[in-house]
Amino acid sequence: MTDMLKGKTGLIIGAGTRDNMAQVIARRLARDGARMIVAGRDAAELERFAQDIGGVPATCDITSQESLAALAATARNAAGELDIVVNATGWGLLKPFALTTDAELRRMTDLQFIGPFQYFQAMLPLMRRGSSLIQISSATATIMLDNHTAYMGTKAGIDHVVRCIANEYGQYGIRANSVSPGITATPMGAGAKLVPGVWETYESHYPLGRAGTADDIADAVAWLASDGCFMSGQNLQVNGGLTLRGNPTSAEVDAAVIAATGKPRPRPWEKLEG
């Protein structure tokens, strides 16, 4: 434990799933001395986790302005002002561009663009001078990944919003940055390990020889949240050099799965589309 964030209050949304990236980040920030408000949709899990790290639980749906207003009120009552605001929500929709439905596109936009936009709108009035706003983005906001167009486009869009916030709110001493993992060993990335050959193919594209962990991202967030960070309007590519080589293509992954199992990998959208 360090005291790098001692005396600071942080808020992170997306922490309603056990051991997900948001929880790992929140635990790290709490270990460094921050008092954490942890938000998400699962009230029971948030209560358990908050008790574990000595934080404050707050149920919130990032796609609801009413829910975000209630979260802002909770934060104001619990802390008055905020030093750290993190968005770690996301949905890893795996779907070809042509097959992405209107409902899926609207859900993705609500969750990964409109929701974060309005989350930051709701929390910025509570952020004091010297505070840090952090968006968990994705390497795929910069590089390609087959069959993730809606996910990638909304992540890229909110990255630019973060740059706009950095430009507009710098006069108030507020820093705004984003962090881009690659494939990560979290509940969201767990599906890549279910089919032999998939995880290994992705990992082979990392110059540092391994895929990332949630702890790697938490380390970056802790630094961005600290007073030692003189950075704003930037995107940190915390992904072991993945952007130097790029993700494997769908054809590369397919070939690896066939070599490992003798049969093609499942296509979830084929089941969805019948």
Nearest alpha-carbon partner for 140 in 96, 87, 181, 81: 181
Domain of 172, CATH number, reads 3.40.50.720
Is residue 265 one of the residues assigned to a domain? no
Terminal-residue alpha carbon distance, the chain: 52
Question: Out of 119, 151, 169, 202, which one is annotated catalytic?
Answer: 151
Rg (CA), the chain: 19
Q: β-pairing, 235-237 with 9-13?
A: unpaired
Distance CA 189, CA 145 (A): 14
Is residue 202 one of the residues assigned to a domain? no
Domain that holds residue 116: 9-187+211-241
Is residue 250 one of the residues assigned to a domain? no
Question: pLDDT at position 190, please?
Answer: 77
Question: pLDDT at position 191, please?
Answer: 79
Is residue 40 one of the residues assigned to a domain? yes
Distance CA 236, CA 191 (A): 25
What total number of domains does the chain contain? 1
Question: pLDDT at position 186, please?
Answer: 84
Is residue 195 one of the residues assigned to a domain? no
Tens of each residue's pLDDT in the chain, 274 residues: 689 999 999 999 999 999 999 999 999 999 999 999 999 999 999 999 999 999 999 999 999 999 999 999 999 999 999 999 999 999 999 999 999 999 999 999 999 999 999 999 999 999 999 999 999 999 999 999 999 999 999 999 999 999 999 999 999 999 999 999 999 988 877 778 888 999 999 999 999 999 999 999 999 999 999 999 999 999 999 999 999 999 999 999 999 999 999 999 888 776 433 2
Distance CA 252, CA 200 (A): 11
Is residue 216 one of the residues assigned to a domain? yes
Interior CA angle at 96 toward 155 and 251, to 5°?
A: 105
Question: pLDDT at position 188, please?
Answer: 76
Which own/partner pairs from 196-203 qualify as long-range (CB within 8 Å, at least 24 positions apart)? 196/257, 196/260, 196/261, 197/253, 197/256, 197/257, 197/258, 197/259, 197/260, 197/261, 197/265, 198/253, 198/256, 198/257, 198/265, 200/256, 200/260, 201/248, 201/252, 201/253, 201/256, 202/247, 202/248, 202/253
Task: Find the helix or strand (DSSP H, E) in which 39 lies.
Answer: strand 35-40
Nearest alpha-carbon partner for 119 in 150, 147, 82: 82
Q: Tell me, yes or no, if 151 is annotated catalytic.
A: yes
Amino acid at 95: K
Q: β-pairing, 127-136 with 175-180?
A: parallel
